[in-house]
Amino acid sequence: MTALDPELADAVAAIEAAGVPEWHRLSVASARRVEDDVFTPDERRDVALVRDLSFSGPDGDVPVRVYHDDPARPAPVVVFYHGGGWTLGTLDSVGGVCRELAARAGCVVVSVDYRLAPEHPFPAALDDAYAALAWATETAGAFGGDPERVSVAGTSAGGNLAAAVALRARDFDGPDIAAQHLLYPMTDRDTSRQSYDEHGDGPLLTRADVEWFWDNYCRSPVDAANPYASVLRADHADLPPATVVTAGYDPLRDEGRAYADSLADAGTPVEHLQYPSMAHGFLSLADDVAVADDALDAVAARVESA
């Protein structure tokens, strides 16, 4: 097995030294405060346009944050969904990745503050995520975006939502999606895969955390088996081209790999970017980890080419 990247190991040690417990050992409110505090960057890349907006969603207003580094130039749009197991995460905590993508890919990023579980279980987050795609497509021209070039992207549970949005758009004749970029995505409720046996104790994400997130998101086993929740169980034909990023030390590694394989088997174009020395959430650590910085460049290149 490839060794854990030493720069990543140092970053993980710093997070652990800050006294961050496993997510499932905290109350939901406390976990949200800790996640926002730990993962909101102190230093941020300057982006020419950063604007907080909202639109009328399925059950009230949905906040979004728009990033565009060259507002005078029409650019492709990426609707971005943050991670956090559908339970944690804010526009601030994912802001670093969104700023980097906007600058590196020359695109408009629309970051979506969807409703969180357990207060709002499945399919509330997906309903907001899908509504955000429709809104961004219809409104793109107002913030310099090209409505003919709209992609979806997300990290972890956000990667799940991006995949589910692509599935729903296909199934219900929704907006055209240029590409889907799934960054260490959660794709299945099953936590018995080998990567859980190897890395179920972390770093940065554990098997117990993942099970807690699924329990928060899904009201019943029926919800968990729904192909718009456990997206690995869906039909994967006739979907937008995909980029799937996986990390070797991530308990989600094997379900991400299985999703990429299923897309390919169904004839959907897919590029699987594997980073054996990385752990879950590593793209948020690009300032401190050279491999993560290179990976963010690779993702940005695929966003731009899409």
By the 10 Å C-beta count (0-12 exposed, 13-18 middle, 19+ buried), 154 is classed as buried
Catalytic residue among 24, 181, 236, 280: 280
Catalytic residue among 151, 156, 195, 262: 156
Annotation marks residue 280 as catalytic:
yes
What are phi and psi for residue 168, nearest 5 degrees? -65, -40
Cβ neighbours of residue 266 under 8 Å, at least 6 residues apart? 235, 236, 237, 239
User: How far is Cα 107 from Cα 271, in angstroms, rounded to an integer?
Assistant: 20
Using DSSP, state whether 240 is helix, strand or coil: coil
Token pair recorded at residue 284: 């948020």
CA angle 287, 293, 296 (to 5 degrees): 120
Annotation marks residue 190 as catalytic:
no
| Length of the chain as a residue count | 306
Cα–Cα distances (Å) from 294 to 35, 227, 249, 286, 289, in that order, read 24, 33, 17, 8, 9
Catalytic residue among 250, 254, 277, 284: 250
Annotation marks residue 127 as catalytic:
no
User: How far is Cα 94 from Cα 88, in angstroms, rounded to an integer?
Assistant: 11
Token pair recorded at residue 233: 């169980």
Token pair recorded at residue 24: 């499932």
Active site (catalytic) residues:
156, 250, 280
